[in-house]
Structure 1
Amino acid sequence: MSSASIADTAGTADPAGTSKARRLGELREFLMSRRARVTPAEAGLPGGGGRRRTPGLRREEVAVLAGVGASWYQWLEQGRDISVSPQVLDSVARVLKLDGAERRHLYVLAGLNPPPPEVARDDRDMCEGLHRLIDTWMPYPAHIMDAYWNCVMYNDAAASVLGMRSETSENCLLTFFADSIYRARASSWERNAPQVVAMYRAACSDHPDDDGFAAVIAEAKATSPEFTELWERRDVKPGGQVTKEIEHPVVGTLFLESTQLKVPARPDLTIVLHTPLPHAEADTAAKLEWLASAEGRRETIRSVTG
């Protein structure tokens, strides 16, 4: 090999190797830090006498409690390039009392695909804050869906503009296809229907064996031949933005852009915010502001009651 070739080889970086070394180094530091915070008493072990050199569990104790070999766990914590399985990582996560986010982080550092996100116990009571969020979005429509697209909550603008109401189906997919009021108002219904179905298939794809999705799909097929035809296309599209044209019975045409947003702490929920689109003839923003006013509310009620 020529001197030039040797120089070229010596100067060539190894991005994959560097990245892997960095990841395994992070794995070592992460496991050591998590092990140090679990006391023997918390792990169900006797405290024992004398002073301990480590503030938390020893490596050997983690290995015994997780049901793995002491040498194997030592190699894992040292950041060695060894084979790991989800089952063994779950055992280690249990012993180290990792929460959902920490467990996913452990998977990533170990080089495995992480499990689906979970809702932490401390984050289950976020609904009041999310309700404040969509109420603050007034006078624009906003609502929140669960994983199956069941409507969890909506603001007043979503009721007056999109026709959301407690007596209708609580599932947004079923409402899209079966609610006569929404379909009468949605001038863009035929254009948006394929995208809506493709987005729902994408939502299902993360949970292929979930009976909840299967129940919604079965009801949609029984309710709407249009849904059945679109579902059989098997199109997939991640949740994003949908442009809507709404023909409101009081203020006329509205042009809106709905955007799906996720809160990492609540992966089971999706926030859907509607923003007025600039349109010279429609002036959607002004119409939405008027609908939210006292006069607009009275006129809307008068229109509904006849």
Structure 2
Amino acid sequence: MDSCCQDLIQESTNTRLNQGHPCFSTGRHQKAGRIHLAVAPACNISCNYCVRKFDCANESRPGVTSKVLKPEEALQRVIEAKQSSMGQYLNVVGIAGPGDPLANPSTFKTLELVKEHFPELILCLSTNGLLLPEKIDDLVRIGVSHLTVTINAIDKATASAIYSYIRWKEHTYIGFDAAHILLQNQLEGVKLASQEGLTVKVNTVVIPGLNDAGIPDLAREVKRRGADLLNLMPLIPQAKFAHRVPPSHEQIQELRKQVAPILPQMTHCQQCRADAIGLV
């Protein structure tokens, strides 16, 4: 590819990353607000670092919410937020759990309601990617424009150490079988989403001694599939990984430095709750 084509691709990527979504923009995260609607309690994979809690007001991390909402309750929460003092900043509605949004029919009902009442708002969604290839048409139909896919490894041995199991097409898979299906669907989902014009961010939980050495290869692979942005998140030691040491700030910075030439880096992630609201 010649330098002219590379410059055009980079310009297009920069434009998409600065369209007002605080979790994708490198410069607007303190000017644009978002609300996460916790309507998706069910999950179809078991991550060894994940603990999902409801009615937990004192923790700020993914998987936590004070209440699981019904779609109509979620719409009302958006209405109230738009009428509040932060309404002028609110331009993004996202669904990020506390389980996997694509494994919950309530996700799609909620997005449809929000789109009907607030067509000007950006719709986004976070997923583990297991169901992404089969749900991408629904996301496009509803008008989701920003997508986050959590991919923690592209090596099956590494992935099989991060996930206890997956639940797919009414069967439970473990080990290499689970890793193979999950990785195949994640990468195909990123490719399809990119081809449909969605802006795609990949989240990767950095687990020192397990997946950190493979992150540059992961960055190259997801870029090849069309990802626009990479977000390296430090492990929060809990669940089966409670004994593991999280990466230091310096380790995260060094990894970002290594992969920045491959994909733009998100550096302001707060590892938000499933019911977060406001500026990042």
Structure with more of its chain in helix, by fraction: 1
* TM-score (ref. length: structure 2): 0.23
Structure with more of its chain in strand, by fraction: 2
* TM-score (ref. length: structure 1): 0.22
Tell me: higher relative CO, structure 1 or 2? Use CA pairs within 8 A at least 6 residues apart: 2
